[in-house]
Structure 1
Amino acid sequence: MQGIDIFQDHEFLNRVSLVEKFDNNDYRTIYKMDCNNGLGIMTVYKVFTGIELIYYEFEVASCLCDLPTYDNIIEINHCKEGREECKLLDGSFLYMGEGDLSINMMSNHADTIGFPLKHYKGISVVIYMDEIVNEVPKILKDINIDIYNLKEKFCTHDKCFVMRAKDKIEHIFSELYSVPESVQKAYFKLKVLELLVFLSITDESQEEEKEYYSKEQVERIKEIKKFITKNSQHRYTIEELAKMYCISPTGLKTYFKGIYGTSIATYVKEYRIKNAAISLRQTKNSIADVALSVGYESQSKFAAAFKKIIGISPLEYRKKCLEDILL
C-alpha cells in the first residue's frame, strides 16, 4: 500500500513555490527552503516503510513550512545547534534548546517554524502511523514496538512532549550527524530502532514540567530583544527594561532565558562580539575602533570577551580571515 508522504503531496508542492526539490531518488530527497532573509536545507531519508529521518539546517529567524495537515503522523525532533520555536495550534509557544528532544503530532504544528538565534541544526524522525499499521516492518514486530502506544504515551490531548537534554538522548543522536554515506542505510535503521526502544521504556511522568509561553509574552520579549540589540552600546539594567515594557524583573529574566536560552547580559555580550567579528572581517578599522563601535572603551576587556566567545583574539581572528581570503 502506498502511504501518504507529506513532503511529496502534489497540492503542497504546486502551492508552495518556496520549496525546491533538487535531488531525488527512492531513498533520499533534498529540499531547498528559500525562507525570507535566509536559507534552509531539509534532507529526507526513507528508513523504513512509514518512517523517515530528516536533517534540518537553517540560517534564518523563521521559515514558512506550510505543510498539509494529516492525522496520525508523529514527529520526533532533536535539536543539535541553535534553538527552535514551536508554535502550537492553541496559540502557545514552546522552545527547544541544544540537546532537547520533542514529540508531537504533525497535526498540531503551526505554519511557521521559528529560530530565535537565527541558526538551527537538527534531526526529525517522522512516523506515518496509518502506513505502518497497514504494512508493519518485520523488525518492529520482532522487537514488539507499538507505535500507537507511543502516541497515547506522549501526545494525548494534542500535547507536545519535551525532554530536556540528557546523556541518553545525546548517545542516540550524536553520531547521526556524521554518518559515512557507505553505511547510512544500515546505521539509520539501527538508530531509529534504538530511539523507538528508548521511548517505549521512558517514563514520561518523570520528566520536568515544560514552560509554555503565551503569544503576548513572546511578542513582548521579542520587542525587548529588538530594542536592546538596536541599542547594544548602552547597558540597560533589568529594572530599567522591566519598567519600560511593563513587566516584572523576574518575569523578564525568566521569559527571556526561556525564549533565547540565555540571560539578557550574555545575549547582548555575544551580539556585540559577533558584530565586532563582522567589522574585523569586512573593514580595515583598528581593533580599538572596532571595540568602541560595539560598546567597549577598554581594548583589553574587549579582547578578553572576544577570545572567550570566538576562541581566538581579535588580532588572530582578523589575520585568519585575511589568510582565508588569500587562499
Structure 2
Amino acid sequence: MNFNFMKGEAQMVPLTENEECSIYQIKNETGEGIVICYQVLPGVSVSYNDFHMESCDSTFSTDRNLFCIDHCREGRLEYASGRGTYSYVEAGDLKMDRRISHQGHFEFPLAHYHGLMITFDLEQAVEALKNEMRNFPVNLPLLQKKFCEGRHPMVIHNAPAIEHIFSELYMVPEKIRIPYFKIKIFELLLYLDVLEIPLNHEEKPYFYKGHVEKIKAMQRLMTGNLEKHYTQEELSLRFDIPLTPMKNCFKNVYGSPINTYMRVFRMNQAAVLLRNQRGLSITDIAGKLGYDSPSKFSLAFKTVMGRTPLDYRKNFGPNGMM
C-alpha cells in the first residue's frame, strides 16, 4: 500500500536499501508495520505489507499514472468508498486502483493486515514489459482502464485463480526471487486480461459511517467486559441499530458473526491467561471470560484452539513456547 504517512509524529522510516530491495518501518500509537519493496522491472515493483496496527493516516498523493493491485492474505482493511461510507477488503480479495483517492484514514479492524501489492507506473512499465517479453499480448493501459475506470477501487473476491497465483508469491527462495516475480506478474496480467467482469457486477457492500461507529463501540463494549455475555437483542436496543443491519455490518467490519467473533476473542484471551497466569485455575479463567461452567468453557476452548485448556497449558514450557 502506498502510505506516505502517518498519524501524529509517526512516519515511514527506511531501514535498509539496496539495488533490489528497500525495507521500511511504519509506527504510530496504534502499532507498527514493515513494508518490503522489490524493484522487479523499471516501473514495476512488488511490495510485502505486514501491519500490526489498528489504523493509519495516509497523505499519499501522486501525479503518476499508476495501476496498483493489492492482495489481502490475512486481516481486513477498511477504506472510504464514498462520502460517509466505508467498504472492506478481506482475506483472498484483490483490490485494484490508480491511487487517486488514497488519502485519509484507514483502519485495520482486526489490528493486523498481511498482503502484497504489485505497482505499475505505466510511463515506464509498458516499455519494460515489452522489452522483457516480446509480443506479450496484454495491453497494460487497457487493463488499467478495464478495472480502474472509477475513482474508487474495484474489489474482486472469490475468483478461482487468485489464490493459486498469489499463494506462491509468499514463499519465494531468495536466489530466484526477481526472476520468479517476473513470471508471476506476467501470469497475473494474462489472468486479469481474460477475466470477465459480469455485467451485473456489484461492488462489495458499503456501510454508513454512523452504523460503523456504532459497531465499533459495540465491539469495544463486549471486548472490554468479557465476564458478561450480551445478547444480540440487547446490543441492538443499546446501540439503536436494527438487528439485521447490525449483524450484516458487524460481519463486514470484523469478518465474522458477532457470536463467532466473541468466542474466538475470548479463547485467545484465555490462551494468554493459561500461558502467563499459571496461578489461575481453569475455573478462575472460565469465570473471567463469562463462563459459569468450566466444562462449557473447556468445550469452547477446544473448538477454537484444537485442544483442552489443560492440554494447552501443559504443552507450554516455562518460556511460553510450545
After TM superposition, the score normalised by the length of structure 2 is 0.90
Judging changes above 3 Å, is the alpha-carbon distance between structure 1 residues 323 and 231 closer, same or farther for their aligned structure 2 residues? closer
- Conserved 8 A contact 1:89-1:110: no
- Conserved 8 A contact 1:224-1:241: yes
Which residue does 2:143 correspond to in 1?
A: 150
Deviations 1:43-77 (A, max 9, x none): 00111211111101111111234333334212211
Which residue does 1:66 correspond to in 2?
A: 59
Judging changes above 3 Å, is the alpha-carbon distance between structure 1 residues 47 and 80 closer, same or farther for their aligned structure 2 residues? same
Which residue does 1:98 correspond to in 2?
A: 91
| Greater mean deviation of Cα atoms: 19-28 or 308-317 | 308-317
CA distance in 1, matches of 2:105, 2:180: 31
Alignment pair present for 1:267 and 2:269: no
Deviations 1:166-188 (A, max 9, x none): 43111100111111111111111
CA distance in 2, matches of 1:209, 1:37: 29
Judging changes above 3 Å, is the alpha-carbon distance between structure 1 residues 326 and 127 closer, same or farther for their aligned structure 2 residues? closer
- Conserved 8 A contact 1:102-1:162: yes
| Greater mean deviation of Cα atoms: 223-232 or 207-216 | 207-216
Judging changes above 3 Å, is the alpha-carbon distance between structure 1 residues 236 and 325 closer, same or farther for their aligned structure 2 residues? closer
Q: 4+ residue runs of structure 1 moved beyond 3 angstroms?
A: 68-71, 88-91, 133-137, 206-209, 323-327
- Conserved 8 A contact 1:44-1:53: yes
Which residue does 1:311 correspond to in 2?
A: 306
Aligned length: 318
| Paired residue type of 1:29 | S
| Paired residue type of 2:87 | L
| Greater mean deviation of Cα atoms: 245-254 or 310-319 | 310-319
Which residue does 1:299 correspond to in 2?
A: 294
- Conserved 8 A contact 1:36-1:63: no
Residue segments in structure 2 that go unaligned for 5+ positions in a row: none
- Conserved 8 A contact 1:89-1:109: no
Alignment pair present for 1:29 and 2:22: yes
Residue segments in structure 1 that go unaligned for 5+ positions in a row: 1-5
CA distance in 1, matches of 2:129, 2:180: 20
Question: What pairs with 1:83-94 in structure 2 (closer than 5 Å)?
Answer: 83-88=76-81, 90-94=83-87
1:205 is matched with which residue: 192, 195, 198? 198
- SS of match in other structure, 1:210: coil
Deviations 1:204-250 (A, max 9, x none): 22645421122222212111111222223222222221111121111
| Paired residue type of 1:98 | A
| Paired residue type of 1:239 | E
Root mean square deviation of aligned Cα: 2.4
Which residue does 1:3 correspond to in 2?
A: none
CA deviation after TM superposition for structure 1 residue 122, in Å: 0.5
After TM superposition, the score normalised by the length of structure 1 is 0.89
- SS of match in other structure, 1:301: helix
- Higher helix residue share: 1
